[in-house]
Structure formats: structure tokens, C-alpha cells
Amino acid sequence: MEHGIPSHLFAVTDNYEILKLKVESAELTNDVFKLSTSLMEGKYSDQTVLHYNDAFQYIYLNSDKSIHARHVSLFFDIKLAHVFVIEKAEAELNLLHSKEKAVIKNIADIEKSLLEDGFSEEYIAQQKKQAIDKIEQELCETGGNKEHIASLRKV
């Protein structure tokens, strides 16, 4: 590749998909390299192609050929892209587990408060079931996984 730029790069989408990019051209302007890329072979969803067009069709390298700060999910090495995906997914899971624990604690606090205020356990169980049904429906509509939904039923 011209200017000593690598011929291939790896980009990670918001959905943790690793895209293999081919560098088509490189142009040095204002102390940065502007690269034009194309998606390499593979089956990509329409959403992935839109994400590529928006974020990775044109990318920038610093004049020393290091990755520009605007591209936090762009890598020269596919192994680093995989590490990035794993770390981001683990961080997202940890955040979800933390939120789940907070919701479970809030439910327990509300149940305790309702019992102290004289509501029957039957009434509380009915209200809890309705709330969980509503959350389950929202999770299903937004792609929540079955294990997460099942954990709500255990509360």
C-alpha cells in the first residue's frame, strides 16, 4: 500500500461484529492520512453496511500511521479486535448484572414497605407478576435474552 499504510484493517461495530476492511487508497492531508476503505468478503446485514458507510468507509490515521483518536474501535491486528469485543461485551454484561441487582433490591424494598403498610401478600404477588410481565414483554421486544427474563421470574 502507498505511504507504508497497511492494506487491511479491522473495525468493530456497535453490535460487536468485526469488519474486515481493505484499504483502497490513502491520502496525506493536514498531518493525517485519510483512507478510503471497502468491506472485504462476508455476509453483512443492511444495518452493518450502514454502520460501515457511516463510520468506516473513510478513516483517519495520524501522520505517524497510528490510529487516530476518533477511531477507538479500529485495529491493525484482528486479535486486538477480538480482545476489544470481549472486553466491551464483558463490561456491558457487568453493567446489566449491576442493574439487575439494583432492580431486585428495589423490588424487595417495595414488598417490605407494602407489607408494613398492611397490603396482603396476595395483592403484592399479583402486582409483582403484572410488573414482571410488562418488563418481560419490553425485554422480548428489545431482544432481551431468555436467561435474563427467567432471572426476573425468580425475584
Concatenating the DSSP letter of every residue in 33-73 gives: EEEEEEE-SS---HHHHHHHHHHTSEEEEETTSPBPTT-TT
Percent pLDDT > 70 in the chain is 90
User: For residues 51 and 15, what is the distance between their CA atoms, to the nearest angstrom?
Assistant: 10
3-state SS assignment for residue 142: coil
Would you state the pLDDT for residue 82? Answer: 96
Place of cell 453493567: 95
Strand 32-39 and strand 8-12: the pairing is unpaired
Residue-wise pLDDT for 75-100, tens only, equals 999 999 999 999 999 998 888 888 88
Would you state the pLDDT for residue 130? Answer: 85
Name residue 136's amino acid: E
User: N- to C-terminal Cα distance for the chain?
Assistant: 58
Would you state the pLDDT for residue 38? Answer: 96
pTM for the predicted model, two decimal places: 0.68
Q: Which residues pair with 10 in a beta bridge?
A: 20, 75
Q: 3-state DSSP: the chain helix, strand, coil percent, rounded to 5?
A: 50, 20, 25
Name residue 48's amino acid: T
Q: Which residues in the chain show pLDDT less than 70?
A: 1-2, 142-155
Residue 22, Cα to own-chain centre: how many angstroms? Answer: 24
Would you state the pLDDT for residue 10? Answer: 95
